[in-house]
Amino acid sequence: MMLVSAGFVFPVSNSKHTATRWHHKLHVKGSLKLDQKDFNDAGEAKTVRHRDARRCECFDLYKDLIPYKEAWSWQKSVVKMRQSLVERDEDHSDTLIILQHQPVYTLGTRSLEKFLKFDIKNAPYDLYQTERGGEATYHGPGQLVMYPIVNLRCHKMDIHWYLRSLEEVVIRALFTTFSVKASRIDGLTGVWVGNKKLAAVGIRVSRWITYHGLALNVTTDLAPFQQIVPCGIYDREVGTLCEFLWGSVRKGTAENRSLMDVIHDSLLREFSEVFQLSIQHKTIADLELIE
């Protein structure tokens, strides 16, 4: 067990109509507006282009399980690089890392141990104390994590605006893809469907460069959340998208894999739209070179 890192959480509900609507969307790809994200027949992402939009280098590893410590190191390296570019007035793009994590618990900067239901010296999974905001959370397979490394000087120098924009990405993706009406709750961060938190947000901003980000439970096993008080909220639940659509988690099935593919495509498209960024896909080799 190690003590060291970033976080997020999420909830749900049931609807046969929503599930039916989603299955229909798997087979019928609607037309995309000019400059939106598109995908070829092999399912590979093409570049999202907005006229005169700022570029965003995207390291898309959403099908991979990345150790938390490795992804955390990537983020900090990119932040350091971006800050150096800003000082030289050469910062012309943002960065987005998309992935899933191997099972891990993470804590925020000022997280309290009372929200952990286990001895930190004998944690069920690796445990990381991070510099993000928020309390304890769990990351694991079936949870889609997005780490935007964004220069807010080129968008809006307002952290509250940035948090609401990350929430907006998820809210739009759920509605446009599944007709799910998700919402915010006053005083709380994240995206909710009813009383369940479907997506959590935890960020850090250093010299107006953001890192950490958001996580959405898609087909996540919720059992590890029972060992913590997710985000330090006692009276609300965490859930998954597949639980909302199907009423259960069906691990290892074609439906699970398809659901992850569809929500990934939608989140990336809405991220591009909300932040008005032109997505340019990069390889993992490019990311490792930064370090």
- Rounded to whole angstroms, the Cα distance separating 223 from 228 reads 10
Catalytic: which of 56, 58, 231, 242? 231
What is the rounded end-to-end Cα distance, in angstroms, of the chain? 25
Structure tokens at 229: 């008080």
In this structure, the strands spanning 237-238 and 196-206 are parallel
Q: Active site includes 154?
A: no
Structure tokens at 256: 């699970």
Which of 77, 79, 110 is CA-nearest to residue 210?
79
- Tell me which residues are annotated as active site: 231
